């Protein structure tokens, strides 16, 4: 009875949320005075019937938080990018290699972040950027894999995001990746937990509304990794998924699980056309 009552209260709160609606800001995100970021654009064709436009979460932040992301000197996430640059050049493992040994400078990786997750033909699976980094570490460098969404992995993700900033997200969902994408879509629309909420309930049907004294965004992940003021660190996509699922009072999946890989592919595809934006600053 208590669970049913809680679910009823939650449903009532969501129903009342339009009273606290906030429009996405008309401000434009320009980083360091010259790098223009697309934060609002027409939705991709595969979102027909869901949303007409897609918005970066930056559009729903308060003025102070938005301003922090407009200057790399003020963006606290850039500290971790600098740490990742050191790791990029560091020789590790039994093969005596660094990331730079094979890939050159981080800037040579511009555009990579924009197409992940992606199908890996050799492995026969959809891989996230973290999975690909760990494959390089274990199979090419002879080094230990990084913990999924651990500090080292998230820092390197932020570095690879930073060199792709401004480039449009263009995640492929056809061909052999389609079945994974379909699983991700199913997860996105499935209600879970004691509160019986899906990703879509918040991020498709109620974006812009208040929830727990903050505005819901569309839940786009083009801006990840994200430095959250709430916990004062960079946060990976799967860590954020885990927190959202936990908030529905459901048993959540692990970072790097097949379910979260599929969900990442689907959610990333919802942001096709938006600019790569990470590392971003969020509440």
Domain ranges of the chain: 29-281
Q: What mean pLDDT, rounded, does the chain reach?
A: 92
- State the catalytic residues: 244
Decide: 56 and 29 in contact? Cβ < 8 Å.
yes
Which residues contact residue 10 at a Cβ distance below 8 angstroms, ignoring those fewer than 6 apart? 195, 197
Q: What is the mean pLDDT of residues 68-91?
A: 98
Write the class of the CATH domain 29-281. mainly alpha
Q: What is the mean pLDDT of residues 175-199?
A: 97
33 has pLDDT over 90: yes
Query: Is 244 within any annotated ligand binding site?
Result: yes
CA distance 177 to 98: 30
Query: Is 238 within any annotated ligand binding site?
Result: no
Locate all alpha helices (DSSP H) within 36-177, ordered by sequence: 63-69, 78-89, 99-103, 129-135, 151-162
Least confident of 10-24, 85-99, 125-139, 252-266: 10-24
CA distance 36 to 74: 17
166 has pLDDT over 70: yes
Query: Is 103 within any annotated ligand binding site?
Result: yes
SS3 231: coil
Query: Is 46 within any annotated ligand binding site?
Result: no
């Amino acid at each position: 009875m208590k669970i049913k009552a809680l679910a009823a209260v939650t449903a009532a709160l969501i129903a009342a949320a339009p009273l606290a609606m906030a429009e996405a800001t008309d401000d434009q995100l320009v980083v360091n005075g010259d790098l223009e970021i697309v934060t609002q654009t027409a939705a991709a064709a595969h979102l027909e019937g869901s949303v007409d436009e897609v918005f970066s979460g930056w559009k729903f932040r308060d003025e102070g938080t938005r301003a922090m992301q407009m200057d790399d000197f003020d963006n606290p996430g850039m500290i971790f990018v600098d740490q990742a640059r050191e790791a990029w050049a560091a020789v590790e493992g039994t093969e005596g290699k660094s990331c730079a040994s094979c890939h050159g400078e981080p800037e040579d990786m511009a555009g990579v972040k924009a197409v992940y997750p992606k199908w890996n033909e050799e492995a026969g699976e959809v891989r996230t950027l973290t999975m690909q980094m760990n494959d390089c570490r274990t199979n090419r460098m002879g080094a230990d894999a990084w913990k999924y969404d651990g500090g080292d992995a998230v820092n390197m993700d932020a570095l690879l995001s930073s060199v792709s900033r401004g480039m449009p997200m263009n995640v492929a969902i056809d061909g052999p990746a389609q079945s994974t994408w379909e699983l991700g879509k199913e997860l996105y629309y499935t209600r879970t937990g004691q509160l019986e909420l899906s990703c879509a309930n918040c991020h498709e049907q109620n974006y812009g509304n208040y929830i727990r004294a903050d505005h819901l965004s569309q839940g786009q992940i083009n801006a990840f990794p994200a430095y959250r003021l709430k916990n004062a660190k960079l946060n990976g996509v799967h860590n954020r998924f885990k927190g959202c699922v936990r908030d529905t009072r459901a048993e959540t999946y692990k970072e790097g699980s097949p379910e979260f890989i599929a969900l990442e592919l689907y959610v990333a595809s919802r942001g096709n056309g938006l600019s790569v934006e990470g590392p971003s600053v969020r509440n």
